[in-house]
Chain A
Amino acid sequence: MTLFFAQTAWLVPLYPLVASLLSLLWSPGLISRTGPRPCGYLNLTLVSVAFVHSAAALMALHSNSAAGAAALYKPLSFGWTWLETAGLKVSFDGLITEPALIAMTVITGLHVLVQIYAIGYLEMDWGWPRFFGSLSFFEAGLCALVLTDSLFFSYVILELLTLGTYLIVGTWYNQPLVVKGARDAFLTKRIGDLILLAGLIALLPITGTWNFHGLQAWAADQINNGNPLPQVLPLILLALIAGPMGKCAQIPLHLWLDEAMESPLPSTVLRNSVVVVGGAWVLLRLEPLIELSPLVQTVLVIVGGTTALVASLIALAQIDVKRALSFLVSSWLGLLFVAVGLGGISVADHLMLVYPLPMALLLMVIGAIVITNVTQDLTQLGGLWSKRPLMGLAFLTGAAGLMALPPFGGFAALRELMELTAKSSHPVLLGCLVLFTNALISAGLIRVFGLIWGGRPSVFTTRSAEVLWLMALPTFVLMGLVLHLPQLMVINGVFALSPLPGWGPLAVPLLISTLVGGGLSAAFYLRPHPLAHLPAALGGLQDWLAHDMQTERFYHRTVVWLVVALARLSAWSDDRLIDGFSGASGSAALEGARRLSFTTSGRTQAYALTLVLGVLLMAAWLLASAPSVPSELVRPFR
């Protein structure tokens, strides 16, 4: 009976999809009759159903595997042919595997919590149908993404999520910043997606398949048979990783995540915790191909490493609390890119596993702070420890989950990454990179904590009220989950318990880096401290980092400028050359007709004269040009 849930796990993406489609019904007409709330409740219900189903499916798979039924433990596959023409068959081949079920449980579970949270956060908002519909749409997309075995459909889903991001960032569309953020989010991610599409199109003639398992088999085949690899393969692979780079907000496609912070906070919670990981998921599935090309591996390490280090530095300079956290997202995922680049697939897997819950928790807490204190400016907050200690504890829990602090989840994964770098060709460089990044991430998290909970209350925080239970409840449920995450990992054999979860070689330097980074940051920011003004002394550098290294200006002066210039050039050419020509011919014809119209005088004699003249002229032409008749053709008349 329970296996039934696993076999029908492909239904899970459909529940939220139905919810988001039903949300369309709440057009303004229906809202004015029922108010926006029923739509939110409907979405929450269906999302909960999806969660229950995926959790049941996961348990079913586990209990059956525990019983030792190997046949049942095989992944269940399903397929749906989307397009079949002229020899090309594109089908949505899905695999219901254990990782997919775990991912779906995490995604749907977080969605349930976030939708409850959103009911509290958007209490007074009228845009519920659009917002909840988009949230459910995201969930449907992510669940389908983890189920599909097709690179092609992974692209399709990433592209749809790009559109979803545009809509959800644009929820409060009458604010200029929101409109700009929505635009930039869409276009930046679309660039990544399009490059991915180009890679896909080029890949098919070489591998003959778009399915991950087919690609895996193809890659293994290439290695085993020692086939020479196609020369364009590295280029294609670079194109393929552009999609995940855009989704995971890696440099140089990192701009959008920071601007997407203009969306309502509940959507940020999901975006920064699970949606960005969707890109990483695709990257992990591509790993067998990436292993074929050392060049691509190097690129991944460089991109990931740079992003990890630079984004964590940028985060330190942000004064908008949401942006401070969003750069940490890029940074953490940068570490994941490094892991994939070094071929450490299981390390990357673990990094992906421990990340979403703490990040979601951090953002939920931040939302609770932002909504009651009316500001998200870190310099305006402070002194909340005496008023909101529980939220402070929840924040610390989330922070501990992301920095390398045993026994929390992040520590074990980061230590494995350290071990991986030690085996790489540049152990010192990459090891230091991980240590530095970890120290900076710890510093960034403690800085946010210090600026909000430390120090003295400000004008904004003196009357800080507690939030609605609808927001507090999911936050603390999630806090409990984050606290239990290491235990769950140990029970399931992901990390060893010796003596702390994930303890092992290189644990000490990692722990020291956390303590140094976090400690220094605590010294700076927990209490008003003379050293706290030190960053300001950095002046230009800090300003540069605070403005995201002027990336936006850079893009404005390069890509945007180029496109605009090209567009203006083509508009000019169209105006002058094409339109000029056709306009000139058109106006010449009109002008000719107008002139000709003057010749009509209405006098019959004039027409008669014209006719006669015309006939005469024609006759003259015919006579003049009439060929002399050959004599043999002229027969004598009998």
Chain B
Amino acid sequence: MAGTLLLPLLPATVPSVRVRGIAALFGALQLLVGLLCWQHPPADLQLSWLPKLGLRLDLGLDGLSLPLVLLTALITSLSILSAAADQSRPRLFFSLMLATNLGVVTGLLARNALLFLLAFELVLIPITLLVAVWGGEKRAGAAVRFLLYSAVSGLALLAAVLAFAWFNPAGPLFAFEDLRQAQFSPTAQRWILALLLLSFGLKLPVFPLHGWQPFTYGQAPTPVVMLLAGSVSKLGAYGLLRFGVGFLPDTWAAWSPWIAAAGAISAVYGALNAIVQSDIRRLMAYSSLGHMGLLVLGLSAATPLSLQGAVAQMLAHGIIVALLFACVGLIERKTGTTAIPELSGLMNPLRGLPFTMGMLLLAMMAAAGIPGLAGFPAELLVFEGSWTTFPRATLVSLIASGFTAVYAIRLFNRVGFGRLDNERADWSSTCWSERAPAMALTVLVIAAGLWPTALTGWSETESTGLALRSQPFLRRDGAQPFSLVAVTLPTASELRTS
């Protein structure tokens, strides 16, 4: 917040590089504070704001919000760093980026539905402006589309939050604690959940509410897409988990087959659409849609394992998609295009962009769920967690995961492999400062794949508490069946024959 207010006040003579540095510093500071909060959990902050409305500044951290706050802080800093060094109108640009960050973080920290709503709406404005001012050729249409969809999403959330107050027999209360204990009638639950699904479904997005996404991702400037896809869309997932699963468990359980179906369809639909795209940005927008589908599948099954998978998927997708767009941003900056037919042979060690392509390949493989990278543990948990509840939807999502490989390979074969176009290949190679954000994300993607506790360790208590269904085959006590200790080891002579 301080950053948002401070940046516009900087004198106009400050070069944009320095503005970028200062903005990134705020992001880093936030990350640092977040990490400190992880080590020393702070007490909840409660300030009365408009007591008559029940609006209080309730901020708090738990296992669900902390990892997402860290993710947001990280992606904000990295996306700011991946902006061009000569960013036009830097003060406004970076201050809007930080404003977006402010909205998302407040939303995640909010312990009060009304405050969450305010934060949710706050995100809308800076992103619309960022797209409208700094976007691509068709930025006006993209911005309006984003604005319209987000406005509907915001209105639906407003209605849902008001309905929370309206239908609550205990009176108009907004604090999460009160909402969790509130006894809503089945009709009320249905209305509220429908509104919530509309609102958060638009935010994520989920099929068929994704109309804004390819357009916005295609037109918005790279740092904005990194932030939007990596972090802002997670607000929708967080909302579904917090409000849907958390406050309306009965209706959620009753509707979950439909929600799972929407998730599975999103997964297949996004992947299929990604196969035929001819622009890298649009391809990634649809890929993102597919991955959000997996997330929704995990949420709908609502077993401890699948919820863990959903949280892991939020984090994993956050860093993977940020990395993807960071690479795309580099490609676009150097070659001037993201059209797949115009690019080829970028793997070329001397005149291509081998380093960027290496990272892009890694990110695509992570998105395709290749083991050893961040996407795999998340997908595994979602699949394993949802299998017992929704075997068909899980199977469909597995097929979608196969399609993921198809577009990943198609993209890489066209863009990375093949012959370099000698006429056009006179690009400058990327320098270290340009690569740095993507490299940091690459390290994270690999680290999370090798040590997935980084994705799942935060939210274990919360997601077990929120789970609506159990998985009887998993025992929580010591987990004996999975270790070798329980198995009598055969002798070597027996092994020799087997």
B interface: dominant SS = helix
Is the C-beta of A217 less than 8 angstroms from some C-beta in chain B? yes
Interface positions, chain A 579-638, Cβ under 8 Å from B, are 579, 581-583, 585-587, 589-590
Decide if A89 touches B388 in the complex (CB within 8 Å): no
Within the complex, the shortest CB–CB distance from B214 to chain A, in Å, comes to: 7
Decide if B418 touches A179 in the complex (CB within 8 Å): yes
Decide if A287 touches B492 in the complex (CB within 8 Å): no
Decide if A173 touches B487 in the complex (CB within 8 Å): no
Interface positions, chain A 77-136, Cβ under 8 Å from B, are 77, 79, 82-91, 93, 95, 97-99, 126
A578 partner residues in chain B, CB cutoff 8 A: 208, 210-211
Known A-B contacts A85-B381, A586-B145; the reply to A346 vs B497 at CB < 8 A is yes
Is the C-beta of A302 less than 8 angstroms from some C-beta in chain B? no
B90 partner residues in chain A, CB cutoff 8 A: none
Q: How far is the CA of A173 from the CA of B417 in the complex (A)?
A: 5
What is the size, in residues, of chain A's interface with B at 8 Å between Cβ atoms? 88
Interface positions, chain B 315-367, Cβ under 8 Å from A, are 345, 347-350, 354-355, 365
Decide if B208 touches A88 in the complex (CB within 8 Å): no
A568 partner residues in chain B, CB cutoff 8 A: 276
Decide if B401 touches A194 in the complex (CB within 8 Å): yes
Within the complex, the shortest CB–CB distance from B478 to chain A, in Å, comes to: 9
Is the C-beta of A156 less than 8 angstroms from some C-beta in chain B? yes
Interface centre among A79, A205, A569 (most CB of B within 10 A): A205
Decide if A170 touches B489 in the complex (CB within 8 Å): no
Is the C-beta of A429 less than 8 angstroms from some C-beta in chain B? no
Interface centre among B355, B406, B457, B491 (most CB of A within 10 A): B406
Known A-B contacts A563-B406, A586-B141; the reply to A209 vs B482 at CB < 8 A is yes
Decide if A201 touches B486 in the complex (CB within 8 Å): no
A155 partner residues in chain B, CB cutoff 8 A: 371
Known A-B contacts A97-B495, A214-B487; the reply to A84 vs B276 at CB < 8 A is no
Decide if B349 touches A214 in the complex (CB within 8 Å): no
Within the complex, the shortest CB–CB distance from B182 to chain A, in Å, comes to: 27
Decide if B405 touches A570 in the complex (CB within 8 Å): no
Q: How far is the CA of A315 from the CA of B383 in the complex (A)?
A: 41
Is the C-beta of A191 less than 8 angstroms from some C-beta in chain B? yes
Is the C-beta of B93 less than 8 angstroms from some C-beta in chain A? no
Decide if A84 touches B479 in the complex (CB within 8 Å): yes
Known A-B contacts A163-B365, A211-B482; the reply to A345 vs B498 at CB < 8 A is yes
Decide if B482 touches A585 in the complex (CB within 8 Å): no
B269 partner residues in chain A, CB cutoff 8 A: 570, 574
The residue on A at minimum CB distance from B387 is A201
Please tell me which one of the listed residues B211, B383, B456, B482 contacts residue A85 in the complex, with CB atoms under 8 A apart.
B456
Is the C-beta of A229 less than 8 angstroms from some C-beta in chain B? no
Is the C-beta of A436 less than 8 angstroms from some C-beta in chain B? no
Known A-B contacts A75-B495, A183-B413, A582-B145; the reply to A176 vs B481 at CB < 8 A is no
Q: How far is the CA of A311 from the CA of B365 in the complex (A)?
A: 32
Stretch from B1-9, B166-174, B241-249, B468-476 at the A interface: B468-476
Decide if B273 touches A567 in the complex (CB within 8 Å): yes
Known A-B contacts A87-B474, A170-B417, A570-B272; the reply to A73 vs B405 at CB < 8 A is no
Decide if B492 touches A85 in the complex (CB within 8 Å): no
Decide if A208 touches B349 in the complex (CB within 8 Å): no
The residue on A at minimum CB distance from B471 is A87
Please tell me which one of the listed residues B140, B460, B482, B492 contacts residue A91 in the complex, with CB atoms under 8 A apart.
B482
The residue on B at minimum CB distance from A152 is B380
Known A-B contacts A197-B398, A201-B384; the reply to A174 vs B417 at CB < 8 A is yes
Within the complex, the shortest CB–CB distance from B443 to chain A, in Å, comes to: 13
Is the C-beta of A159 less than 8 angstroms from some C-beta in chain B? yes
Decide if B387 touches A202 in the complex (CB within 8 Å): yes
User: Could you list 20 examples of A-B contacts with CB < 8 Å?
Assistant: A74-B491, A83-B456, A86-B304, A88-B305, A97-B495, A163-B370, A173-B347, A182-B417, A186-B409, A187-B405, A201-B380, A201-B383, A204-B384, A213-B490, A345-B498, A570-B269, A570-B272, A574-B214, A586-B141, A587-B141
Identify 10 new A-B residue pairs, CB closer than 8 A, beyond the known A85-B453, A87-B305, A214-B487: A74-B489, A86-B463, A87-B474, A87-B479, A88-B384, A99-B496, A160-B370, A174-B417, A179-B417, A183-B410
B interface list, Cβ under 8 A from A = 140-141, 144-145, 148-149, 208, 210-212, 214-215, 269, 272-273, 275-277, 303-305, 307-308, 345, 347-350, 354-355, 365, 370-372, 377, 380-381, 383-385, 387-388, 391, 394-395, 398-399, 401-403, 405-406, 409-410, 413, 416-420, 452-453, 456-457, 460, 463-464, 471, 473-476, 479, 481-484, 486-492, 495-498
